[in-house]
Amino acid sequence: MKLPIRSSFSGAIAVFALSVTGHLAHAETVTTVNGAAIESDVLDFYIQSRTNRPAAQATAEEREALTSELTDIFLLSTQESATSLEKEPQIRAQLELQRRGILAQAVAADFYSSVTVSQEEIAAEYANQVKLAPAQQFKARHILVETQGQAVEIITLLNGGADFQELARERSTGPSGPNGGELGWFSPDQMVAAFSDAVAKLEDGGYTKEPVQTQFGWHVILREESRSAEAPTLESAQTEITQYLQNVKFQAYLQSLRDDAKN
């Protein structure tokens, strides 16, 4: 069983964390380009963003190549044309959005690094999620076709004794067709509602006597087996639940900011 946790995070801010070990050393000027200094902390951050690891772990060759890249960026951005281009509405808007986005990400990351989730909160949410989780899992096969008429024809063939797997290989347009329509084990919440509802109404070994329509097309479904779903342990679900509760608290924080915002 997979707990039915849904992310509560929404909106325009995507929170992410860069892996930074230790603190940046006091910035020193690495080089100067047209009067603009490239500071060591800017270079280190550029190296980290390009290599996805701390700047101190970059090889001498990487550091040299990326220093050259950053120098080119400074060369282009210090041209006289850059001054006038910076005033263009679209460029100005991009710069403002980038600045605001970085600051928003930093504020959100600071919130996540400091927010606390107690063991009592985790245990309560775990109990709630276990109650919401589907009690059963199903093992099924299906045949997916484009029209209702095609699905009715398949059901007629099944009623006459045709083999479900062979029909799936011959007729199904879905990706599971070559495997005889096999879907394996799944929980109801992993499928679209119409499909899950149809499977739940079947007996093990039974197939749908009427075509089932979803946004993917028309299905004929065979329920092979069913079993009781076992909830994961609190220990194994703790990290996921902690992240969920952090997101809940962030949403509450964000809503409070919206409520207190001044025009």
Q: DSSP for 225-260? A: EEEEPPPPPHHHHHHHHHHHHHHHHHHHHHHHHHHH
155 & 126 share domain:
no
Give the contacts of 65 (CB within 8 A, at least 6 positions apart).
none
pLDDT in tens, 111-148: 999 999 999 999 999 999 988 888 899 999 999 999 99
User: Average pLDDT for residues 216-223, to the nearest whole number?
Assistant: 98
Q: Point out the least confidently predicted range of 18-22, 61-65, 237-241.
A: 18-22
Please check whether residues 125 and 207 belong to one and the same domain: no
167 and 249 inside one domain: no
CA distances from 96 to 86, 102, 106, 123, 177 (A): 11, 10, 15, 43, 51
User: 159 with 218, same domain?
Assistant: yes
Tell me, yes or no, whether 145 and 222 share the same domain. Answer: yes
pLDDT for 18 equals 41
User: Which phi and psi (to 5°) does residue 32 adopt?
Assistant: -120, 135
Clarify whether residues 60 and 40 are in a common domain.
yes
The CATH number that applies at residue 204 is 3.10.50.40
CA–CA separation, 194 vs 240, rounded Å? 28
Is 233 in contact with 113 (CB distance < 8 Å)?
no
Instruction: Quote the pLDDT of residue 4.
Output: 66
Cβ neighbours for 214, distance < 8 A, ≥ 6 positions apart: 192, 194, 195
Q: For the chain, how many structural domains are there in total?
A: 3
Give the rounded percent of residues in the chain with a pLDDT score beyond 70.
Answer: 90
Would 95 be classed as within a structural domain?
A: no
Please write the tens of the pLDDT for every residue from 167-212.
999 999 999 999 999 999 999 989 999 999 999 999 999 999 999 9
Q: Is the residue at 157 inside a domain?
A: yes
For the cut 60, the answer to whether the pLDDT of residue 11 exceeds it is: no
Q: In 3D, which of 26, 261, 224, 100 has the Cα closest to residue 44?
A: 26
Name 86's Cβ contacts closer than 8 Å, sequence gap at least 6: 92, 95
* Residue 125 lies in domain: 119-130+232-260
The reply to whether 73 and 139 lie within a common domain is no
246 and 124, same structural domain?
Answer: yes
Under the banding of pLDDT at 50, 70 and 90, the label for residue 85 is: very high
Which residue pairs, CB below 8 angstroms and at least 24 apart, start in 242-247? 242/117, 242/122, 244/5, 244/6, 244/7, 244/8, 244/125, 245/117, 245/121, 245/122, 245/125, 246/112, 246/115, 246/117, 247/7, 247/8, 247/9
pLDDT of residue 5: 64
Same domain, 221 and 181: yes
**Is 73 a domain residue?**
yes
> Does 180 fall in a domain?
yes
Specify if 201 maps to a domain. yes
pTM, rounded to two decimals: 0.64
Identify the pLDDT of residue 249.
97
Q: pLDDT by residue (tens digit) across 34-80?
A: 999 999 999 999 999 999 999 999 999 999 999 999 999 999 999 99
